[in-house]
C-alpha cells in the first residue's frame, strides 16, 4: 500500500484517483462532506497542543514516540480496506496546511519512512500518474 501525505483541499482529487483519504488533523474540515475522509486521531496533535502552539519535538515525543509504526500502518490498512470494500492500494494522510514544511504531516511522513514505510507528498495528478515529492527529515 502506497502512503501519501497531502492537505484537505486535495481530497476530491485524491478520491478521484482511488486513494483512501485520512484526516490526521485534530478537527475535521467543515467543507468536506462526511464519508469522504476517515478521521485518524492517533496521528493528530492534541487539542491542547493546537490551542497552545507546539514545537516539532513536542509532537514527536507526545504523539509519535508512544506509537508503533507497524501497528499504525496495519490499522490504516484495515480501515482503508473496509472503506473501499476491497484491498486499498493507496492512502493519503491529510491536514490543513498547504505547505508540508509547516505541518505535522511532514513529521509523520518522516517517522513512517524511517520505520520502513516510504511516504511521499502527493503534489498533483498527471497523465502518467501522481506527481510526488519525498519529504525530508529536517
- Cβ-proximal residues to 80 (8 Å cutoff; 6+ apart), any chain: 1, 20, 22, 38, 88, 91
Write the pLDDT tens digit of every residue in 14-67: 999 899 999 999 998 999 988 899 999 999 999 999 899 888 899 999 999 999
Instruction: State whether residue 56 is helix, strand or coil.
Output: helix
Q: What is the reported pLDDT for 138?
A: 47
Q: Where are the domains positioned within the chain?
A: 2-134
Cα separation of 36 and 21, whole Å?
7
pTM, whole model, 2 decimals? 0.88
pLDDT value, residue 114: 93
Amino acid at each position: 500500500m502506497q502512503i501519501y501525505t497531502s492537505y484537505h483541499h486535495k481530497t476530491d482529487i485524491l478520491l478521484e484517483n482511488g486513494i483512501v483519504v485520512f484526516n490526521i488533523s485534530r478537527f475535521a474540515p467543515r467543507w468536506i462532506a462526511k464519508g469522504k475522509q476517515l478521521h485518524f486521531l492517533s496521528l493528530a496533535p492534541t487539542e491542547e497542543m493546537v490551542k497552545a502552539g507546539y514545537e516539532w519535538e513536542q509532537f514527536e515525543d507526545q504523539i509519535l514516540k508512544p506509537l508503533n509504526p507497524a501497528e499504525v500502518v496495519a490499522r490504516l490498512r484495515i480501515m482503508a480496506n473496509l472503506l473501499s470494500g476491497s484491498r486499498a492500494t493507496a492512502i493519503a494522510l491529510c491536514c490543513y496546511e498547504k505547505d508540508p514544511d509547516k505541518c505535522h504531516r511532514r513529521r509523520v511522513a518522516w517517522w513512517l519512512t524511517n520505520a520502513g514505510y516510504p511516504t511521499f507528498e502527493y503534489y498533483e495528478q498527471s497523465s502518467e500518474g501522481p506527481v510526488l515529492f519525498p519529504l525530508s527529515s529536517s
